Amino acid sequence: MEIRNIAIIAHVDHGKTLLTNALMRQTGMADESASMDSNALEQERGITIYSKNTSIPYKGTKINIVDTPGHADFGSEVERVLRSIDCVLLVVDAQEGPMPQTKFVLKKSLELGIKPIVVINKIDKPAARPEIVQEMVFELFYDLGATDEQLDFETVYAIGRDGIAKLKMEDNSNDLTPLLDTILRIVPPARSEKDLPLRFQPFNLGYDNFLGRLAVGRIYEGTIKSNSNVIVKKSDGSTRSGKITKLFTFEGVAKKEVSEAIGGDIVMIAGIPDIFIGETICVDKDQEVLPEIKIDEPTICLSFLVNNSPFAGREGKFVTNRQIKERLEKELEVNVGLKIDFSTNDSYKVFGRGEMHISILLENMRREGFEVQISQPQVIIKDGSAGSPQENMKLEPFEEVTINVPDNLQGTVIEKMSKRKGKMMEMVPEGGYTRMIFEIPTRGLLGYRGEFIIDTKGEGILYSRVIGFKEYVGEIEKNDLGSMVSMVNGKALGFALWNLQERGQLYIEANTEVYEGMVIGNCAKGNDMAVNPTKGKQLTNTRASGSDEAIKLVPPIRLNIERGMEIMNDDEYLEITPKSIRLRKKYLTENDRNKARRG
């Protein structure tokens, strides 16, 4: 049976996963309820977080499909996958057109010499503009330096949700046959090379409680067999021996155990506990190593600590330092974009690709019953490497930010981005909206998203992607808010919060339990303010005019992990438990905070 290997790449929410689900349904590999987004967090947020593999049969051919994440924080997964496939389906929204992540994933695939098939999806949208979007995609190919062959790409129009594809807008179609036929016509069959010695390279990792670390990869040459002894080679030439205990191929969303698989196929192996992405599995020490797969560098770091607040241990099952360390070590088995420094005993420094990358880990941990607290995220500052043009320079991560806002609100956004050292690269009006592209230090972008939603009254759209390290730009001006800090333990009362809400925005509602040092809101003036949220109304026997006013409380800002990471100050911790998310000061009492300030 011939094998074709493809990946589906796109910007977040352009319809990759729905299209993959529809392909599986049409070929009988899944029913209506099955979805590639099987993780609970993926289903809640409506985005793909982890890349996943499936395979579908069509006209006697096995088509291996890798569904990739669309969010920029998980872009390193896409880059690794592209090395192991022969063609990509570039999915673009028929209304939005190419977006920042579209540009990133397309650039990577063009550099690897891949000729994409463009799928213009969601053509049933009322504001869809497929012809204009096709022109925009062509311009993007041209700007990214595509070859003449790559510029001659095939375009398929689709409604992924309904499982419909067509080669021309005026065609009648009721399924995805035109897309499947295009895949067979354009994608070259994977070379089996089964007469050569085995060479296999993993591009993704998995973990099983019984089998340990799993590796998903492509067989470039030869045949791989279960229970066979192999050599694992690194790019530096060092080798070690191992044994493959289990071998799986993919059928729809399920894994199928097999005894052997031939070159060109994408399989999952178990039995090598220290296998890592990019290593070459072969049978002879003299075989050439496959080109190395590089992992993107982290851009932010923060500390994970044991929760030592007065409410510690109330909700979580796993609260000790050892349990947190074991959980983080387990995460390193599969989350290759993450780095962790275990050198200190009281806290662990975690390095990640962005706020969402870290928040997904934290959300998974709290759902598993962990209690943990984290410090404010900081960007990673590094020195330029010797011999490079940036030698002796202080470098920091930069991001490309694409913003869509109504025309009348663009001034506010430009002003805020300029204050945060953002540099406008492009500005295009689009039917009542303005699309702006900025280059900005990650430091400047941290904490801005919540402010952006308020500034644009919820009508703005902001996307970002890391573009690398550039020269440090110095101090960045931000509108820092002070914190409203509880000075007592107890239960917050509506009367006290009614008076406090004039000073700033609250993070808690009436009847919430508070403790001394807990942050219950922010102050517009920028200085911290110690407050008593448990203060009740003084009741007397005398009636007075105006003393019986109705209490009207403004709804508080609900803290979630991402919002907490955005608004916290450097002298605060974010306390994360299975049921609650609270902000608190590092030093709980006023005296301790004053001593710390004095040094």
Do 69 and 101 share a domain, yes or no?
Answer: yes
What pTM did the predictor assign?
Answer: 0.83
Average pLDDT, integer, range 57-80: 79
User: Coil, helix or strand for 122?
Assistant: coil
Name the domain boundary from 379, 413, 445.
Answer: 379
Average pLDDT, integer, range 323-346: 87
Q: What is the pLDDT of residue 171?
A: 87
Q: What is the pLDDT of residue 38?
A: 63
Tell me the C-alpha distance between 413 and 402, whole Å.
12
Name the domain boundary from 379, 411, 432.
Answer: 379
Q: Which residues contact 506 (CB under 8 A, 6 or more apart)?
A: 484, 497, 500, 520, 521, 554, 556, 557
Is the distance from CB of 498 to CB of 510 less than 8 angstroms? no
Partners of residue 65 on adjacent β-strands: 6, 54
pLDDT band at 317 (very low <50, low <70, confident <90, very high): very high
Pull the structure tokens for residue 474: 């110095």
Q: What is the pLDDT of residue 380?
A: 87
Tokens 């529809």, residue? 22
Q: What is the pLDDT of residue 1?
A: 78
Number of residues that make up the chain: 599
Q: Number of structural domains, the chain?
A: 5
Short-list 320, 316, 327, CA closest to 305: 320
Short-list 559, 505, 397, CA closest to 73: 397
CATH number of the domain where residue 370 is located: 3.30.70.870
Is the distance from CB of 72 to CB of 466 less than 8 angstroms? yes
Helical (H) or strand (E) element with 307: none
Do 208 and 349 share a domain, yes or no?
Answer: no
Short-list 462, 455, 508, 510, CA closest to 485: 508
Do 441 and 405 share a domain, yes or no?
Answer: yes
**Within a domain: 110:** yes
Sheet holding 52-58, edge to edge: 52-58, 61-67, 2-10, 87-93, 117-121, 154-159, 164-166
Q: What is the pLDDT of residue 67?
A: 81
Q: What amino acid is encoded at 206 in this protein?
A: G
Helices (H), 339-399: 355-367
Is the distance from CB of 300 to CB of 72 less than 8 angstroms? no
Tell me the C-alpha distance between 360 and 71, whole Å.
12
Do 50 and 141 share a domain, yes or no?
Answer: yes
Residue 41 reports pLDDT greater than 70? no
**Within a domain: 495:** yes
**Within a domain: 590:** yes
Do 145 and 6 share a domain, yes or no?
Answer: yes
Looking only at Cα atoms, what is the longest distance across the chain?
Answer: 99
pLDDT band at 83 (very low <50, low <70, confident <90, very high): confident
Is the distance from CB of 205 to CB of 213 less than 8 angstroms? yes
Name the domain boundary from 321, 355, 379.
Answer: 379
Residue range 486-532, pLDDT digits in tens: 999 999 999 899 989 888 899 999 999 999 999 999 988 778 899 99
Instruction: Detail the DSSP E strand segments found in 306-393.
Output: 339-341, 347-352, 372-374, 378-379, 382-383
Helical (H) or strand (E) element with 142: helix 130-143
Residue 71 reports pLDDT greater than 70? no
Residue 584 reports pLDDT greater than 70? yes
Q: Which range of residues forms the domain containing residue 266?
A: 199-282
pLDDT band at 76 (very low <50, low <70, confident <90, very high): low
Residue range 369-422, pLDDT digits in tens: 999 999 999 888 888 776 677 777 888 989 889 898 999 989 999 999 998 999
pLDDT band at 297 (very low <50, low <70, confident <90, very high): confident
Residue range 163-204, pLDDT digits in tens: 999 999 888 888 999 999 999 999 988 887 778 899 999 988
Helix then strand then coil, in percent of the chain rounded to 5, is 25, 30, 45
Burial class (CB in 10 A: 0-12, 13-18, 19+), 571: middle
Residue 545 reports pLDDT greater than 80? no
Pull the structure tokens for residue 291: 């080109």
**Within a domain: 322:** yes
Q: What is the pLDDT of residue 371?
A: 94
Instruction: Detail the DSSP E strand segments found in 353-492.
Output: 372-374, 378-379, 382-383, 394-406, 423-430, 433-441, 461-471, 482-486, 490-491
